[in-house]
């Protein structure tokens, strides 16, 4: 396995033990006394992914806490976990860290877990943001504009979960053996705007290191994510979320297309949706600072550019 190095090393890289004896890993970035923001990685991804992003994506005034979901990185797996199970893990982590109120931001495969937190504990959240978040697989018309590959994987998880598990385990083994080769194969399902971002050596290096860390303990994190996000109905009602949610979707995203954003923005009662017209799935890798500034306003932050859906 490739040695993992971090461009912006976390201030803290630690694990806590939960009530069921599982270990939950997390990393902290930014300022120790800053406003706490929990940042959820994608599928696959790890707590260290944010430190690999070039050009320091962390605004001043924030304490960024980035956990590994179960089965990723240094977090123990929890087979069969649901989205609300993840919300419970976050509540437990905040209790250990003695944090009463906080913001959450979920990126791509981390978005559904952020929405679960929004429903489960709105009284504790200062703000919620999700970027390129998939919609429930069973929702109507959400696959419009999605690549055939992603559509296949999501529908397989919904209709044939046992086969999806085998497929995801095989995919994880392929990524672990040669993450660089896998990243190169990702290009065929991307729009040109994403290919241009991926062509930057520092971005490719970031993804190689992140995938290496994410899958260091095996495939269970990916298996659980595919099942919780795409293989069953979500275990909370989107239309009952009480807190305001900020949504970002990209017009040229072939992995999580704008159709999913339209469904979520039409279903979540109190939300503000931003559709970035000429961007793809990797947009967040160069705009994370803007998203964090918008989700949690801090001195010296400029607001993210907002493009409304016509």
Q: Residue 113: what pLDDT?
A: 98
Predicted local confidence at residue 297, as pLDDT: 61
User: pLDDT 10s per residue in the chain (310 long)?
Assistant: 444 445 678 999 999 999 999 999 999 999 999 999 999 999 999 999 999 998 888 999 999 999 999 999 999 999 999 999 999 999 999 999 999 999 999 999 999 999 999 999 999 999 999 999 999 999 999 999 999 999 999 999 999 999 999 999 999 999 999 999 999 988 888 999 999 999 999 999 999 999 999 999 999 999 999 999 999 999 999 999 999 999 999 999 999 999 999 999 999 999 999 999 999 999 999 999 999 999 976 433 443 333 334 3
What pLDDT score does 280 carry? 97
Fold of 12-295: Rossmann fold (3.40.50)
* Res 308: pLDDT: 37
C-alpha angle with apex 227: 223 to 233, nearest 5 degrees? 170
**Contact status, residue 82 vs residue 56, Cβ threshold 8 Å:** no
Sequence-ordered strand ranges (E) for the chain: 12-17, 23-30, 35-40, 62-67, 102-107, 125-131, 245-250, 271-276
Any idea where the domains of the chain sit in the sequence?
A: 12-295
CB 18 within 8 A of CB 94: no
| Distance separating alpha carbons of residues 166 and 162, to the nearest angstrom | 7
Predicted confidence at residue 111, as pLDDT, reads 98
What six digits make up the tokens of 288? 């994370």
């Amino acid at each position: 396995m490739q040695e993992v190095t971090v461009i912006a090393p976390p201030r803290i890289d630690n694990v806590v033990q939960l009530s069921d004896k599982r270990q939950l890993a997390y990393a902290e970035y930014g300022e120790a006394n800053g406003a706490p923001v929990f940042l959820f990685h994608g599928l696959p991804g790890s707590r260290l992914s944010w430190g690999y992003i070039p050009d320091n994506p962390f605004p001043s005034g924030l304490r960024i806490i980035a956990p590994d979901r179960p089965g990723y990185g240094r977090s123990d797996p929890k087979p069969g976990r649901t989205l609300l199970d993840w919300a419970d893990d976050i509540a437990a982590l905040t209790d250990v860290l003695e944090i009463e109120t906080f913001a959450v931001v979920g990126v791509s495969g981390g978005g559904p877990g952020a929405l679960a937190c929004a429903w489960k504990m709105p009284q504790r959240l200062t703000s919620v943001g999700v970027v390129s978040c998939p919609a429930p697989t069973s929702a109507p018309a959400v696959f419009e504009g999605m690549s055939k590959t992603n559509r296949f994987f999501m529908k397989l998880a919904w209709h044939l979960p046992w086969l999806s598990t085998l497929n995801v385990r095989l995919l994880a083994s392929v990524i672990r053996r040669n993450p660089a080769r896998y990243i190169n194969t990702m290009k065929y399902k991307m729009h040109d705007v994403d290919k241009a971002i991926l062509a930057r050596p520092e971005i490719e290096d970031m993804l190689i290191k992140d995938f290496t860390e994410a899958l260091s303990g095996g495939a269970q994190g990916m298996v659980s994510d595919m099942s919780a996000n795409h293989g069953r109905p979500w275990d909370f009602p989107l239309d009952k979320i009480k807190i305001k949610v900020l949504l970002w979707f990209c017009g040229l995203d072939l992995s999580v297309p704008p159709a999913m954003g339209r469904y979520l923005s039409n279903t979540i009662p109190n939300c503000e949706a931003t559709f970035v017209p000429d961007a793809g799935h990797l947009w967040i890798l160069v705009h994370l600072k803007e998203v964090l500034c918008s989700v949690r306003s801090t001195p010296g932050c400029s607001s993210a550019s907002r493009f409304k859906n016509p």
